[in-house]
Copies of this chain bind each other. A is one copy, B any other.
């Protein structure tokens, strides 16, 4: 059994542990050239295997990615059409949820404007204050990130509504779960809309201007999923006309966001450069998933985090 590993952050100690726990031969690749030379021999792939090489992965039975959004893997031909693809869902929930809540509080407490005032040595606050407490938050997408966000927001006294593809029931954190088809009925009631959707045919352009206009004028949109959800011209228009209250964006339609984009300077926008996924626990949590799946793989059991290509995640 041979495992192709493309994951720069794995130290020799982690590689030793993978070798010990799997008993497999590790094909450790530090760049695309090395990976290209080894991929045809690999039974399993782990980490950041370049999608463009997958056509050569004729022996690969299973690919475990170290990230969540697999649209790049789904967009290319695979050398083994029966390969099982599993993603890194579960790695990023705590840190992305934390960044989401931090961006929401930035708006309620004016922390972005406080930062601007600090730079000017100004002890004043030309802005008003709100609270997460008592606000109604819609979670568009309710997977790992949505759940971790709901857990935290519940402690702030928010009312929480999940909006998701698959049917579901309220849990310990969300008060209600609705299907996407009810989205238009829910938008007018929200103070925040937190989006953690992957890029799929279905989610692309899901929030055009007409839906943004359904939100209350004070509502803030948070997007940590994929920028393709929000047509950028529509988003900018809704922000400029103050038909929505603001946007906290970790993702944009084009990344890096071009320096000329109007989003940079809008008064009601805060931007982070697609870094909410960064966490010091990336390797630890990613390998937890890999090891759990390795045991299932060896026993012939269904794997965790299996991506359904037709659905897109």
Q: Which of A165-189 contact B (CB under 8 A)?
A: none
Query: B264 touching A121 by the CB < 8 A rule?
Result: yes
With an 8 A cutoff between CB atoms, is A106 at the interface? yes
Query: A95 touching B155 by the CB < 8 A rule?
Result: no
In angstroms, Cα B271 to Cα A279, docked, is 25
Stretch at the interface among A74-82, A109-117, A202-210, A293-301: A109-117
User: What is the count of identical protomers in the complex?
Assistant: 2
Given the known inter-chain contacts A121-B264, A129-B278, A279-B131, please indicate yes or no for A273 contacting B114, CB distance below 8 A: yes
Query: A280 touching B102 by the CB < 8 A rule?
Result: no
Stretch at the interface among A10-18, A33-41, A56-64, A251-259: A251-259
Query: B111 touching A272 by the CB < 8 A rule?
Result: yes
With an 8 A cutoff between CB atoms, is A98 at the interface? yes
Please, which residue of chain B has its CB at the minimum distance from the CB of A119?
A: B116
> Chain B nearest CB: distance from A114 CB in Å?
5
Query: A102 touching B98 by the CB < 8 A rule?
Result: no
Q: 25 A-B contacts, Cβ less than 8 Å apart?
A: A94-B133, A95-B109, A98-B105, A98-B133, A98-B156, A101-B105, A102-B106, A102-B108, A102-B109, A103-B111, A109-B272, A109-B276, A111-B111, A111-B112, A112-B115, A114-B271, A114-B275, A121-B264, A122-B273, A123-B273, A125-B275, A129-B275, A151-B155, A154-B155, A155-B155
Q: Spell out A's residues near B (CB within 8 Å).
A: 94-95, 98-99, 101-103, 105-106, 108-112, 114-119, 121-125, 128-133, 151-152, 154-157, 255-257, 259, 261, 264, 270-273, 275-276, 278-281
Query: Lowest 7 CB-CB distances: which A-B pairs, in order?
Result: A102-B105, A123-B256, A155-B155, A129-B278, A121-B259, A123-B273, A94-B133
